[in-house]
Amino acid sequence: MSDLVTIEQALALVLARAAALPAESVPLAAAAGRFLAEQALATTDLPPFPSSAMDGFAIRSADTPGTLEIVAQIAAGSPASAALEPGQAMGISTGAVVPDGADAVVPIEHVVAVANSVEVAKAVPARSNVRPRGGDIRLGDAVIAAGRRLGVPQLAALAATGVAEVRCGRRPRVTILATGSELRRPGESLRPGEIYESNGLMLEAALTAAGAVVERLATAADDEDAHREALARGLAADVLVTSGGVSVGPHDLVRRLEVELGVAEIFWGVAMRPGKPLAFGVRGSTLVFGLPGNPVSSLVGCELFVLPAIRALQGASSPEPRFELATLGEALRRSPARDDLVRASIDLSAGAVLRPVVGQESHMIARTAIADALIHVPRGDGELAAGSTVRYLRLA
Ligand code: AMP
Ligand code: MG
């Protein structure tokens, strides 16, 4: 393993091959988590009419202070009523149309209403409690830019502006294959030499949450026929993600058989720990990730490279890992040759402080369960001092 690529190089090599899949129309109700392929435009002014921000009385600012005659009640959803004349007031609900002639709404709490008149003791400035037409957005303006993921606020914005359907990048079909003769399913009993298979489920959960349509194949034993058959099937997907069998051992068959099946390897080996023996290649438009079998290595490779690819395939404008900044709780030694990814919990009791968890070996997936973050320790000399600001990736 002499020609390791850096994390940055590896990510660039992956993203260069993860062009957005074709767009499709998606009903808004099914669009949560999808990425917009085209900007979405407002189908209406919002609000579509000058609307009241309060329950109260529509009035003319120039008539205040004063006693006004109540001539109507306007409910939300009613069409615009007759224009308000000088000296008049109209009862109005929150969200109802402010009538022509009125330039302010005085809240019900600020007036004394007696029979058919209302007493406004103080002057009410013009425009008080009136939401102007189009004050939030104008008809035809972009509500959301292309490439943006539709989260909770974005869905609400689209619904509010009357968008019923959006154009989104197609979801990538991803096949996940765990390899290893030693692997058993949770619930089965372990014979000597066996362990439980955890990468398949982990990858399925992570990739599904990122928007992929996942198929998980049965675990492949470490023999050529089992590998060949499963890999051939996986290569029909947009993305094939394998775990295990990409190191240098005699039972590590994945890379060799993928090459036989026509995969062109782009890189093998990333200067990072954990997760070094990671392979990436392509066959036609299929992206092929070979993640190492150690569970934490698989997790790191998925977070740094596979998830960004899944986002890019869906048309994300910023598919890269989303690093955040926080304070390092204890010193961490740097390695001159490779970047480290250190599992840590986030202590929020006094600003965000990252506390590395005890036990950082790449098989220690159980200890990883208490981690919230992967700290990025860039290659270099010396150490990152306690109290310094570092980049980290949040683990979901
Ligand atoms: P490999 O990359 O196949 O050499 O596997 C490295 C280590 O990870 C070995 O200890 C394997 O038993 C373990 N391992 C491989 N695949 C999985 C998996 N799907 N789930 C849990 N552990 C695994
Ligand atoms: Mg193996």
Average the pLDDT over 12-32 and give the result: 98
Mutate to test the pocket of ligand 1, among 1, 195, 268 (most ligand atoms within 8 A of CB): 195
Q: What CATH number matches the domain at 7-21+170-313, 3.90.740.10, 3.40.190.150, 3.40.980.10, 3.40.630.30? A: 3.40.980.10
Q: What is the mean pLDDT of the chain?
A: 97
**Partners of residue 282 on adjacent β-strands:** 264, 287
CATH 3.60.20.10 holds for 23-46+135-169? no
Q: Does the CB atom of residue 47 touch ligand 1 within 6 A?
A: no
- Tracing tokens 């058993």 back to the chain, one arrives at 184
Q: For residue 129, report the distance from its CA to the centre of ligand 1, in Å.
A: 63
pLDDT of 1 > 70? The answer is no
SS3 226: helix
Do residues 112 and 281 touch, judged by C-beta distance below 8 A?
no
- The first and second tokens of residue 90, run together, are 């109209």
**How many Å apart are CA 125 and CA 127, to the nearest integer?**
6
Q: For residue 220, report the distance from its CA to the centre of ligand 2, in Å.
A: 10
**How many Å apart are CA 174 and CA 234, to the nearest integer?**
8
Q: Does the CB atom of residue 182 touch ligand 1 within 6 A?
A: yes
**How many Å apart are CA 46 and CA 156, to the nearest integer?**
13
Q: Which ligand lies nearest to the CA atom of residue 197 in the structure?
A: 1
Confidence of residue 81 (pLDDT cuts 50, 70, 90): confident
Terminal C-alpha separation, the chain: 32
Average the pLDDT over 62-73 and give the result: 98
pLDDT of 2 > 60? The answer is no
Q: What percent of the chain clears pLDDT 70, i.e. is strictly above it?
A: 99
**How many Å apart are CA 290 and CA 394, to the nearest integer?**
23
Ligand 1 atom nearest to CA at 297: 8
pLDDT value at position 80? 77
Q: Does the CB atom of residue 197 touch ligand 1 within 6 A?
A: yes
**How many Å apart are CA 74 and CA 6, to the nearest integer?**
66
Average the pLDDT over 215-236 and give the result: 98
CA angle 214, 194, 259 (to 5 degrees): 50
pLDDT value at position 356? 97
CA-nearest residue, atom 10 of ligand 1: 294
Q: Does the CB atom of residue 290 touch ligand 1 within 6 A?
A: no
Q: DSSP per residue over 206-218, as a string?
A: HHHHTT-EEEEPP
CATH 2.170.190.11 holds for 51-131? yes
pLDDT value at position 395? 96
**332-358 pLDDT per residue, tens:** 999 999 999 999 999 999 899 999 999
Q: For residue 223, report the distance from its CA to the centre of ligand 2, in Å.
A: 11
Q: Which ligand lies nearest to the CA atom of residue 219 in the structure?
A: 1
Do residues 91 and 140 touch, judged by C-beta distance below 8 A?
no
- The first and second tokens of residue 74, run together, are 């306007």
Do residues 194 and 153 touch, judged by C-beta distance below 8 A?
no
CATH 2.40.340.10 holds for 323-394? yes
Q: Does the CB atom of residue 327 touch ligand 1 within 6 A?
A: no
Return the H-helix or E-strand segment holding 156: helix 152-160
**124-143 pLDDT per residue, tens:** 999 999 999 999 999 999 99
Do residues 17 and 287 touch, judged by C-beta distance below 8 A?
yes
Q: Does the CB atom of residue 154 touch ligand 1 within 6 A?
A: no
Q: What is the pTM of this model?
A: 0.95
Q: For residue 182, report the distance from its CA to the centre of ligand 2, in Å.
A: 8
b/e map of 371-394 (b: 16 or more CB within 10 Å)? bbbbbbbeeeeeebeeeeebbbbe
**How many Å apart are CA 281 and CA 286, to the nearest integer?**
9
| Extents of the domains making up the chain | 7-21+170-313, 23-46+135-169, 51-131, 323-394
Q: For residue 320, report the distance from its CA to the centre of ligand 1, in Å.
A: 27
